[in-house]
Amino acid sequence: MSQVRISSRGLRPFAWVLGLILTLFALTAAGPALASPVTVTDVLGRTVTLPGPAKRIVLGQGRQLNALGLIHPDPISLLVGWGNDFQRQMGEAYTLYRARFPAIETLPTVGDSTADGFSFEKAVELDPDLVVLSLSIAGTRRGPGDLVAKFEAAGIPVIVVDFFLQPFRDTVPSLRILGKAIGREAAAEEFVSFYQDRRQRIARRLGPVERPSVFMHAHAGSAECCFSPGKGTFDDYIAAAGGRNIAAALLPGATGQVSLEQVLALDPAIYIATGGTHLARSGGLVLGLGVPAEVASRSLAAQLARPGLKALTAVRKGRAYSLWHLFNDTPTHIAAIEAMAKWFHPQLFADIDPQATLDEISRRFSAIPLQGTSGSSRMAESRKTWQARRQSHEFPRKPRLPRRSRGCPAMTALVAHARIAMIDPDAIIAPLCEHLAEHGAEVTQEEGATIIALGSYRGWLQSSDGHLIVRAEAPDIASLQGAKQAIASHVLEFAPRGEAVPLIAWTGAGSDVAIPSSFRILTVTGIRDISPHMRRISFRGEDLARFDSLEALHVRLFLPPPDLAAPEWPTFGEDGILRMPETDKAPAVRKYTIREINPVAGTVALDFVLHEDAGPGAAFAARARPGDRIGMAGPGGRGLREADWYLFMGDETALPAIGRMLVHLPSTARGFAVIEIADAEEEQALVCPAGIQIRWLHRQGAEAGTTTLLQDAFDTVTWPSDDATVYLWAALEHSDFKALRVAARKRLRPERDHHLIVSYWRRGISEDRPAD
Look at residue 219 and tell me whether its pLDDT is greater than 80: yes
Rounded CA separation 379/377 (Å): 7
Question: Which residues, at least 6 apart from 187, have a Cβ–Cβ distance to it below 8 Å?
Answer: 71, 72, 179, 365
Determine the pLDDT at residue 224.
72
Q: Which amino acid is at 385?
A: T
**385 — pLDDT class (breaks 50, 70, 90):** very low
Rg (C-alpha) for the chain, rounded Å, is: 29
Among 174-183, 392-401, 558-567, 744-753, the range with the most confident prediction by mean pLDDT is 174-183
Residues 79 and 142 in one domain: yes
Residues 233 and 87 in one domain: no
Flag whether 387 is in a domain: no
Flag whether 229 is in a domain: yes
Among 3-7, 404-408, 508-512, 639-643, the range with the most confident prediction by mean pLDDT is 639-643
CATH for 533:
2.40.30.10
3-state SS of 15-34 is: HHHHHHHHHHHHHHHHHHHH
Flag whether 279 is in a domain: yes
> Do residues 172 and 62 touch, judged by C-beta distance below 8 A?
no
Look at residue 14 and tell me whether its pLDDT is greater than 90: no
Residue range of the domain that includes 112: 35-201
Flag whether 340 is in a domain: yes
Look at residue 49 and tell me whether its pLDDT is greater than 80: yes
> Do residues 593 and 609 touch, judged by C-beta distance below 8 A?
no
To the nearest 10 degrees (0 to 180), the angle between helices 333-344 and 185-206 is 10
- Average pLDDT of the chain is 81
pLDDT digits (tens, 9 = 90+) for 194-212: 999 998 999 888 877 889 9
Average pLDDT over residues 287-311: 78
CATH for 103:
3.40.50.1980
Of 577, 604, 636, the residue at which a domain comes to its end is 636
Flag whether 766 is in a domain: no
> How many domains, in total, are found in the chain?
5
> Phi and psi dihedrals of 764, rounded to 5?
95, -10
Residues 253 and 182 in one domain: no
CATH for 672:
3.40.50.80
Residues 303 and 194 in one domain: no
Query: Is the CA virtual torsion 317, 322, 328, 333 positive or negative?
Result: negative
- Own/partner contacts of 664-672, CB < 8 Å, gap of 24 or more, are 664/550, 664/640, 665/640, 665/689, 665/692, 669/643, 669/644, 669/645, 670/644, 670/645, 670/646, 670/720, 670/724, 671/645, 671/646, 671/647, 672/646, 672/647, 672/648, 672/717
Residues 526 and 579 in one domain: yes
Residues 65 and 148 in one domain: yes
Look at residue 677 and tell me whether its pLDDT is greater than 90: yes
- CB atoms inside a 10 Å sphere around CB 619: 17
Of 201, 218, 246, the residue at which a domain comes to its end is 201
**427 — pLDDT class (breaks 50, 70, 90):** confident
The share of the chain scoring above pLDDT 70, in percent, equals: 85
Residues 474 and 495 in one domain: yes
Rounded CA separation 503/484 (Å): 14
Residues 56 and 133 in one domain: yes
Determine the pLDDT at residue 281.
67
Of 153, 175, 201, the residue at which a domain comes to its end is 201
Residues 234 and 298 in one domain: yes
**21 — pLDDT class (breaks 50, 70, 90):** very low
Determine the pLDDT at residue 374.
54
pLDDT digits (tens, 9 = 90+) for 584-606: 778 888 989 999 988 878 899 99
Determine the pLDDT at residue 27.
34
Flag whether 145 is in a domain: yes
